[in-house]
Structure 1
Amino acid sequence: MSPTPPAPAWLLIEGGGSHTWVSNARGETILTTAEGPSTNPRSVGEDRAAHTLIDLINRAGRSPNAAPMGVIAAHGAASTRRAAEDFAALIHRTLANSDETPVPVLVTNDLTPLLLSARGPVCVTNCGTGTGFAARNGDRWARVSGLEWLLSDEGSGHDLAVRGLRAVIRALDGRGPNTTLTGLARLWCADTSRTSGDLGADLFTHVYRTESTKAHVASFAQQVLEAAEDGDQVACRLVQDAASELAAGAAAACRATAISTGTKYTLVLSGSLLTEATLLRGHFLDWVHDHLPPASLATHSSESRPSDMLRLRDLWLTTDALVPLREAMPTHSETAPTAAAAVHA
């Protein structure tokens, strides 16, 4: 007598500019998880994104002979509706070795679960490798920025790093003031296989090397923050400018959803540059408390991912609940399973 195949589980995927989290879930129980680098094609390229996603799904223990109950993806790759559809196609390709049963897929932006994490009006400000802003107030939803590093992402880790590296080159050229970022940049690129003693040339090699990614460049943001903490005037100005960009994004999302002074809303901070005690976080919160004080402040952490993603799944299974979300957030969905069927998954 052949063994009974395991019951199908939900495949949950959450990712941004530097990380991806994959899990299998049945009901309210997280069965297995796997974590790895970014699977955003615009950060790492289509081939690397696909390879990493396949690896993470396999490491999370998906049965190779059974299709999942459904796939829920909250991902930074969903910058537009078309991009969300493209990421859904990428997911389907990674599941190509399962049976022919169509797998229901929901792909939405990675800020969507955070908008569901608090009751009442909520504003989300994310600053990690990239930036993103979103707000919800009743049936009004809005999203600001989030169109990747060439069109947006002002104030992000990548933006702050690039501005810091440009300040180094300007100092080397004599086009800008001296800065302690120069010494920090020398240490940052010291793991390059060959160093020439010419910092400009070494930075060129380090930044444009074949395996370099958006997340790798963004890592220099930590050096900019370090220099600012130590009082370097160039770095201080860069951090203040970044905080102003975050303030502009949060203010725009709040205006779009009628969150104003006096509204009892929750401000949710996410991304490493805002969830950690950085100078950037301090400048941003100073602006918030002066101009748009929240009723409560929440800091998003990786521990909340399972509950966030299960909450998003349950929303998908609620008739018409995605209508206001789809209008504001880049979302692509394909035939959600019925809520009754999901109870048994």
Structure 2
Amino acid sequence: MLAIDGGNSKTDVALVAADGSLLASVRGPGTNQEHHGVDGAMRILGEIVAEAAAQAGVTSEGLVARHISSCLAGADLPEEEEQLAAALRRRGWSLTSAVANDTFAVLRAGLTPSPGQPAWGVAVTCGAGINCAGLAPDGRTTRFLALGRLTGDWGGGWYLGQEVMWWAMRAEDGRGPDTLLRPATAAYFGLPTVRDVAIGVHLGRIARAELLGLTTVLFETASAGDTAARDLLERLAEEVTAMAVTAMARLGLTGPGALGIPVVLGGGLLAARHPLLTAAIERRLA
């Protein structure tokens, strides 16, 4: 089986034998079809699959595995899942293929079901963006559209990077309270002021994608006790909890006797396990 976990910032591909042994494992760049288009995503994925096939001693020209199980960012609607599954079939790497949203990969990876029991629970992933998926014991699933502000989302590196800039800029020009985010943001880009950062982004000298790195600044300033940074982490914890609890309610898992629901946290921001953010989430879930 060819297993694919394709995210916004990175993609993991594994080739697994019928007995479950790992034959090859390769990490490559992100393959979100929303950013690269379906054909572009397949081209990037093709390079990663070729490397995995070579690592396992299998030719990448033609059949690589019997089945592809893929969890892909950007597979947000049933028609997008089918479009991506069809694109995988056209590559000829396998006899059959299945596509799901990449949030289900976080759920699958984080669950440790008891022998003979079905795997079930809720997963929230927070990397470049934020999403949540739930799986009930009877197999029912739920998740969110997760298309950004258009669909009510807040959180993930894209949002937090912009929020850090917002607070830092307002502190610098006098519209808002001072915050450690101001000097830390300028220093992160090696520039004298936040204004220089904003102009650099506006003129294209700094890629907007580089704002994702400001999550590091956020964690560091929050650890130093900065109020604005800590408030942002608290808001992110609130969003993570709101998604998880809503997914539970949709699946009928809330109410009396609802303790012990597995909740998996994944994606770069949550996997970092920053103590302030993790504690805020655990406190709200409890």
Q: Do they fold alike, i.e. is TM over 0.5?
A: yes
| Structure 2 partner of 1:155 | 155
Q: Would the aligned equivalents of 1:124 and 1:270 in 2 still touch at CA under 8 Å? A: yes
Change over 3 Å in CA distance of 1:82–1:171 after alignment to 2: farther
Specify which of 267, 274, 286 is matched with residue 270 of structure 2. Answer: 274
Deviation at 1:44, TM superposition (A): 5.2
Change over 3 Å in CA distance of 1:199–1:210 after alignment to 2: closer
| Structure 2 partner of 1:87 | 84
TM-score by length of 1: 0.69
Structure 1 residues 156-214: Cα deviation after superposition (integer angstroms, max 9, x where no partner): 23222221111112223322221111112112223xxxx6x553243342477489465
Q: Would the aligned equivalents of 1:189 and 1:206 in 2 still touch at CA under 8 Å? A: no
User: How is 1:129-140 mapped onto 2 (pairs within 5 angstroms)?
Assistant: 129-139=128-138, 140=140
| Structure 2 partner of 1:184 | 184
Inter-partner Cα distance in structure 2 for 1:148 and 1:20: 21
Specify which of 223, 248, 251 is matched with residue 229 of structure 1. Answer: 223
Change over 3 Å in CA distance of 1:49–1:66 after alignment to 2: closer
Residues 146-155 or 176-185, more deviating: 146-155
Inter-partner Cα distance in structure 1 for 2:67 and 2:199: 44
Counterpart residue identity of residue 202, structure 1: V
| Structure 1 partner of 2:26 | 34
| Structure 1 partner of 2:261 | 265
User: How is 1:1-345 mapped onto 2 (pairs within 5 angstroms)?
Assistant: 10-27=1-18, 28-43=20-35, 49-61=41-53, 63-68=59-64, 69-92=66-89, 95=91, 103-116=95-108, 117-119=111-113, 121-139=120-138, 140-148=140-148, 151-190=151-190, 197=192, 199-206=194-201, 209=204, 212=207, 214=209, 216-261=210-255, 262-263=257-258, 264-278=260-274, 279-289=276-286
Inter-partner Cα distance in structure 2 for 1:149 and 1:44: 21
Q: Which has the higher contact order (CA 8 A, sep 6+)?
A: 1
Deviation at 1:81, TM superposition (A): 1.7
Q: Would the aligned equivalents of 1:84 and 1:107 in 2 still touch at CA under 8 Å? A: yes
Structure 1 residues 265-324: Cα deviation after superposition (integer angstroms, max 9, x where no partner): 2122212322333121111111111xxxxxxxxxxxxxxxxxxxxxxxxxxxxxxxxxxx
* DSSP-derived class of the 1:36 partner: strand
For structure 2, the residue ranges without an aligned partner over 5 or more in a row are none
Change over 3 Å in CA distance of 1:219–1:42 after alignment to 2: farther
* DSSP-derived class of the 2:134 partner: strand
Counterpart residue identity of residue 21, structure 2: T
Counterpart residue identity of residue 47, structure 2: D
Inter-partner Cα distance in structure 2 for 1:288 and 1:112: 20
Deviation at 1:122, TM superposition (A): 1.2
Q: Would the aligned equivalents of 1:129 and 1:218 in 2 still touch at CA under 8 Å? A: yes
Aligned CA-pair RMSD:
2.7
Counterpart residue identity of residue 147, structure 2: L
For structure 1, the residue ranges without an aligned partner over 5 or more in a row are 1-9, 290-345
Change over 3 Å in CA distance of 1:239–1:16 after alignment to 2: same
Q: Percent identity?
A: 25
How many residues matched?
A: 269
TM-score by length of 2: 0.82
